[in-house]
Amino acid sequence: MQKIVIGNSDIKTGKLGLGTNKVGGHNLFSGLNDRAGADVITTALDSGIQMLDTAYMYGLGQSETIIGDVLRQYNRSDIILATKAAQDPDHDLTFNNDPEFLRRAVDQALERLKTDYIDIFYIHFPDDNTPKDKAVAALSELKAQGKIRAIGLSNFTLDQIKEANVNHDIDIVEDHYSLVHRDAEQSLWPYLKAHHITFVPYFPLAQGLLTGRYRQEDQPKFKQYPVAKYQHIMSALEDLKTIANQHAATIAQVVLAWYMTNPDIGVVIPGARDAQQVQDNAKAALLTLTSDEYDDIDRLFQGF
Ligand SMILES: NC(=O)c1ccc[n+]([C@@H]2O[C@H](COP(=O)([O-])OP(=O)(O)OC[C@H]3O[C@@H](n4cnc5c(N)ncnc54)[C@H](OP(=O)(O)O)[C@@H]3O)[C@@H](O)[C@H]2O)c1
């Protein structure tokens, strides 16, 4: 699998990772099963996926705990663990970026993950009060102590990223991005590229919409896309299916391969509810799109 280096850190990882909000994320989704969640993790690691993207918020620690249990069967140094915190359990999960809170959050995540270092630690959301450079300074100290290897931000605006990055400490940014939500290309990418900051898109499959499994009549499930826009997505997916068929691949695999081909995208972290979805998505790493196919897909999703 193609590898990249995360920001200015010494972390090297494959371009296909795994999102784990459906591993133990009972507070966010219904119908989850922790055994299936553990299977999602083992299937990903056994398929050559290295980066696991978790957060305190996924099950209020449960996702990290499940991952920590599974990791005992693996060589820690083969795995890139990314986690996040900001929701303060002592204050109704309001966002907290206070240095003291971040230090405690990292220590508690280390315990749940049963490891002595976290590869990537993200501030999950900005808070209203903490100066961004102060919050990042606390993470730089943790990096110097070896508790984390790279510093990340998630859900920060460009101005907030700039404020946080005054000392060039930020390695990675995670934000909403997919072929049907392309704002970050204009709003974030020019700054990130200029500052060697890796970009990780969340919701890469638009929460399942970009797998091609939904039909026109499912539009009410995706209210963020008005009917005409949703129709545009359905017809673009139809065209994308033709490309997928030429590779004997699925729509989801082609979408994931498109992200992996895009030099402005770092690691792609599709989420999965079960092992089968992970197995299907992992095959995207074997797919090579021609430059014409890459451009055609780019054109199909212009205007999002
Ligand atoms: N930093 C942040 O604030 C933030 C926010 C959101 C997410 N994230 C991270 O980003 C990751 C990715 O986002 P996401 O998981 O919410 O959305 P996503 O990757 O766009 O979509 C994942 C969902 O699509 C469906 N799916 C996946 N593979 C499939 C396949 N092969 N066939 C059919 N359906 C498939 C599953 O939903 P079903 O359950 O419907 O089958 C799965 O849960 C998360 O897991 C999390 O780690 C971060």
Task: Please work out, in degrees rounded to the nearest 5, the angle formed at the alpha carbon of residue 81 by the alpha carbons of 92 and 146.
Answer: 90
Backbone angles phi, psi at 4, to 5 degrees: -135, 165
Residue having the nearest C-alpha atom to atom 39 of ligand 1: 273
Q: How far apart are CA 76 and CA 116, in angstroms?
A: 10
Res 1: pLDDT: 85
Contacts of 21 (CB under 8 A, 6+ apart): 28, 29, 54, 55, 58, 63, 271
Q: How far is Cα 268 from Cα 155, in angstroms, rounded to an integer?
A: 16
Question: How many Å apart are CA 67 and CA 112, to the nearest integer?
Answer: 8
Sequence letter at residue 234: M
Q: For residue 72, give the 3-state DSSP assignment.
A: coil
Pocket test for ligand 1, best of 62, 273, 283 (most atoms within 8 A of CB): 273
Which tokens go with 69? Answer: 């249990």
Report how far residue 143's alpha carbon sits from residue 128's, in angstroms, rounded to the nearest whole number: 24
**Residue with structure tokens 């907030």?**
160
Sign of CA dihedral 194, 200, 206, 211: positive
Instruction: Find the 273 Cα to ligand 1 centroid distance in Å.
Output: 8
Distance in Å, CA 144 to ligand 1 centroid:
33
Q: What are the φ and ψ backbone dihedral angles of 148, each rounded to 5 degrees?
A: -130, 160
13 neighbors 3 (Cβ within 8 angstroms): yes
Give the residue among 16, 18, 43, 32 at the shortest CA–CA distance from 276: 43
DSSP for 248-292, written as a single string: T--HHHHHHHHHHH-TT---B--B-SSHHHHHHHHGGGG----HH
Q: What type of residue sits at position 81?
A: L
Domains of the chain, earliest start first: 3-208+262-272 (3.20.20.100)
- pLDDT score recorded for residue 102: 98
Ligand 1 atom at shortest distance from the alpha carbon of 252: 31
- Yes or no: say if 1 and 15 are a contact pair by the CB < 8 Å rule: yes
Q: Give residue 68's identity as a one-letter amino acid code.
A: G
Ligand 1: centre distance to CA 114 (Å): 25
For residues 197 and 7, the answer to whether their CB atoms sit within 8 Å is: yes
Amino acid 261: pLDDT: 98
Q: Does the beta carbon of 271 sit less than 6 angstroms from any atom of ligand 1?
A: yes
d(CA 209, CA 202) in angstroms, rounded, equals 14
Say how far residue 214 (Cα) sits from the centre of its chain: 22
Residues paired with residue 14 on neighbouring β-strands, in sequence order: 3
User: What string of pLDDT tens digits covers the 304 residues of the chain?
Assistant: 889 999 999 999 999 999 999 999 999 999 999 999 999 999 999 999 999 999 999 999 999 999 999 999 999 999 999 999 999 999 999 999 999 999 999 999 999 999 999 999 999 999 999 999 999 999 999 999 999 999 999 999 999 999 999 999 999 999 999 999 999 999 999 999 999 999 999 999 999 999 999 999 999 999 999 999 999 999 999 999 999 999 999 999 999 999 999 999 999 999 999 999 999 999 999 999 999 999 999 999 998 9
